[in-house]
Chains A and B, each alone.
Chain A
Amino acid sequence: MTDPFLTLGIEPDADDASVEAAYRAAIKRCPPERDPVAFQSLRAAYERIRTEEDRSAYHLFDTEPPAAIDIIRQAATQRSNTEAARPAPELFAALLRGED
């Protein structure tokens, strides 16, 4: 099970409204008809931390260690500037040369 806060891209001390807003924004980007798997994971994350009681229970009683994907997501949240999500021309050339 992944960290629901990271899945929704919110801070651990988010309130109900922020959770709701993050969920709505996320499912707009990932509607169920387009990416059902991603939608399921968003929905599961939302269900886990929807209310303050849920969030508190998560912080206090959830003992699941962080998943590898959580760590990657967390690293992404710490980036100060968002670099362009495009590979450099050299990478194209290298792959065309057969360099895997």
Chain B
Amino acid sequence: MAKKRKKHTVRGGAKVAVAQSPEQREQQALKALATGQYRDAINTLKALLKEDAASERVAERRQALAEAYAGRARELSAKGMLKEALVIWENRAALGPEIPLAFEHGLLSLRLGDVEPLLRLWSESAALSRDERSRLAEQLAAAVLSGAEVLLERLPPDDPLCRHAKPARAALASYCKADEAALESALAEIPFRSPYRSWVLLLKALTRLETEPAAAREMLARVTDDSPFAPLRRAAELALLTETDFLAAIAKIGPRQADFAAALRGWSPQQLELARALAPIGDNAAGREAMLRLLTRHRDLLGADWVRRASLRLLPPIADPWDRRPAQWKTLRPAEAALVEAWNAESQASGYSGWDPIRAWEAVAEALIAEPGAKTDPRQKRAIARVLRRFDARFDVLAKDAPLDTDPDSIQSIAAQQLERSLHWDPNDRATHTRLITWYRRIDQLKDARRLLAMAQRRWPQDMAVLDTAMDVALASNAFKKAAGIARQMLAIDPINSSVRRRLVNAHIQHAAKQLPKGRDDLARNELADARSWTERGTGLEVIRHQLALLDGLVVLALGDRDQGRAMLTTLLEDQGKGSVGQVELILAANRLALRQSQIAQWLGLKPAKVRDRDDLLRVIERLRGNLEQSETFTRGLMDRLKLLFKKAPWKQLERGELELACETLRAYKLNGIREEAARIGLKRWPQASMLEYHLFESRYIEGGLPSLSELEKMKEALERAEAAGETRAAERLLGLMQQYSPFSRGPYVDDPWDDPDGPGAFADDDEMGLDLDALLALFHRFPLRQVLEMTGMPKPLIKQVLKVAREEGEEYAIEILIETIRSASAAGAEMPPNPPTEPARGGKRRRSQAHADDPDDPRQFDLF
């Protein structure tokens, strides 16, 4: 059908053309020629030459027809229709003697086995320019080297093409045999102006590809694009690509080029075949499966061991333990299969979720232990230890600042047990010793901490990290003399270590504070004197020295000679000059000794200071921030004094960065009312400040209450702004805040579902009460199990039950059971009238009704499993 339509169009076109004048038709043909419509141009020009043979423009029209033929022949060649192209070239040549034989015609004829056109060209070459003759000679040289023997028979023997052909061929033979001396000698016989000069360049470049790639590249670049040797140059350049680039190029190049470049790179045909098979494989799940099949298919070529190891990383994740494993699983050792399971478990876990990975790594360790050589091969033993350390290393569950969970069944406890076991297999891992010691110290298992410390100190007596940990343990045990001894050891190794001095000073101050309630001002003063002795050397301890002077004064004021104490402190306050920083120092010092702030103020006759100007405010904030490094315990008295201090503080005089820093400081001191005020004032000036928005809402609801819908909307907008502005920290905090207040679609408006007298069933229906099970499921996918359970406000005993099931049966199972239970309860309670939603009191904590304890329907009494 298409063919018929095409013919019809041409005939139609011809009919139209008949109605036009020859000049118009010529213009139309030239236009078609210029726009690459060669077939139309050929038809029109042929018709014109036939019908208007007497025209003065016959010569021009014949020239145009020759151009159209050439264009069409090139089109056909590009499509691989070589014979058809040759016919067109022959039509062109038949136009008459004024149309010279085209070079490409000669080449194509040669390629298809006919040397005559090229020879004809060469015989007529005297009429050509020097440059054209040189190019033609080079074409013939390439033809000779491509196997056109007949050319040599037909050319005069003294023609350079004949004379230099022998060394040119000898050079190729020598190159292919890697006979460098013979190659050099053959190339030396080819003069600089020979038609084979590009051939010489090429062969020289090929010999330098490996040893001098830059020189080779430069030589290859001298073979121009229109040279008949250009295909060889392009193939050789492929050998200079990086392996990755070459792999990418393989899909786009012809098979001969690929063979040539692969041979130059030293690839075997099998490697090239493999590369061709790999080229279309993408980097996705389907691609991985395809690669897995490919590796299995080429097991003999690649080596069975290697294929098995590589396949481990290509096996698809098994989401469900009951899913069928791919056939490759059969070839895996138990330890390898366990390893794949662990990788899968780890990739699907996040943060603290982790019963699946912790169990999976345990299984890997067990499988490795069961392998021969586990008890004797030191490398195998260390591998087992690494596997046992993996979970903590990956999820950082025993980090110094991780929230503590001392439940013996908690993930942290299990991770600590795994670390303990790892020391059995690799007792030389110092980091594991210090990590475990720190963990035991944090959970007050000082006996275990000391046991491990003794082991560590035997192995690494001079190690600073071990000494540091030892000092922490000594201080936690109130063993000050021991801590001082360790500090001396550390300072002997590192004399400018101020942190050691600071920690000792803080410990002495803490000890001094403990003496005051017992009325032992003498002991307190001794402690402070000891503390002072550690501040005599070292840098950056000026603030501590000043605080120690204040502490001395406070001890005298509180338990000794009040007048003397008053004089000491008054002098110190005056030293601080105007402003409220002096009083802040005093307040902080009194806080460290746990003295009553109001009593101190009364004894000193001090009126509560207030921050009045920008400089004063900045200095106070800076001092409060500095104090955070020394003490994190704040008495109510301190908080009250600080609240008075910041009343009507000039927040609006601060710049945005200063205000955000101030809010951070207030957050650390839990001065939430003040922080809310500061953030609110800041937002008036910078309404787009996402971090201030965070401080505003977090401070407003941190002690209880729930944000309104419009406030949640504002938080969402602030989050979007923070994300758009790349304010990662603000975005993360806002996201956390929003999740905290809206774990479900109607979260903020639903009172604690577990407090509902009708149990979870009453809110489990999406339409009735607003707990969206899909949203809950989404949360389970996004956050660790424990975190989601806590977000729901589920009673702790129930959380424990769910976590226990998760440990024993897997998280998926536990979630499934939980959701099913909520659904069933919902169905059972569907006929009950929904409870009116209760508005939580603003600023008050969500309270759990005591009446629930005896309520048989209380969800905390459910035994779900």
- Chain A interface residues toward B at CB < 8 A: 12, 34-35, 37-38, 52-53, 56-57, 59-79, 82-89, 91-100
Contact = CB atoms under 8 A, between A and B. Distances in A.
10 smallest A-B Cβ distances: which pairs? A100-B254, A96-B146, A85-B266, A87-B263, A68-B278, A66-B310, A95-B231, A65-B313, A97-B146, A75-B271
B302 A75 contact: yes
B12 interface: no
Interface residues of B, number: 69
A34 B382 contact: no
Given A62-B313, A95-B260, 16 more contacts: A12-B309, A63-B343, A68-B281, A69-B243, A71-B274, A71-B302, A72-B274, A76-B267, A84-B176, A86-B176, A86-B206, A87-B176, A89-B173, A93-B146, A95-B256, A100-B231
A56 B254 contact: no
B399 interface: no
B244 interface: yes
Contact of B263 (A91, A96, A99): A91
Interface in B205-244: 206, 210, 213-214, 228-229, 231-232, 235, 242-244
B264 A63 contact: no
Interface string B58-102: 000000000000000000000000000000000000000000000
Contact of B314 (A65, A77, A93): A65
Given A75-B274, A98-B111, A98-B231, A85 B263 contact: yes
Given A52-B379, A65-B314, A85-B265, A71 B295 contact: yes
A70 B307 CA distance: 11
Contacts of B143: 96
Contact of A95 (B213, B232, B343): B232
Nearest to B275: A72
B303 A100 contact: no
Given A38-B242, A76-B267, A87-B264, A92 B172 contact: yes
Contact of A76 (B244, B268, B281): B268
Interface in B262-303: 263-268, 270-271, 274-275, 278-279, 281, 288, 291, 294-295, 298, 301-303
A57 B386 contact: yes
Nearest to A6: B306
Interface of B: 107, 111, 142-143, 145-147, 172-173, 175-178, 206, 210, 213-214, 228-229, 231-232, 235, 242-244, 247, 253-257, 259-260, 263-268, 270-271, 274-275, 278-279, 281, 288, 291, 294-295, 298, 301-303, 306, 309-310, 313-314, 339, 343, 347, 364, 379, 382-383, 386-387, 390
Output the residue of A37, A53, A98 with the most chain B CB within 10 A. A98
Contact of A65 (B278, B279, B291): B291
Nearest to A84: B178
Contacts of A76: 266-268, 271
7 contacts: A34-B213, A38-B242, A53-B386, A72-B247, A83-B268, A84-B176, A86-B178
A70 B256 contact: no
Nearest to A3: B310
Contacts of A71: 274, 278, 291, 294-295, 298, 302, 310
Which of A34, A38, A83, A100 neighbours the largest number of chain B CB atoms within 10 Å of its CB?
A100
Contacts of B298: 71, 75
A68 B247 contact: yes
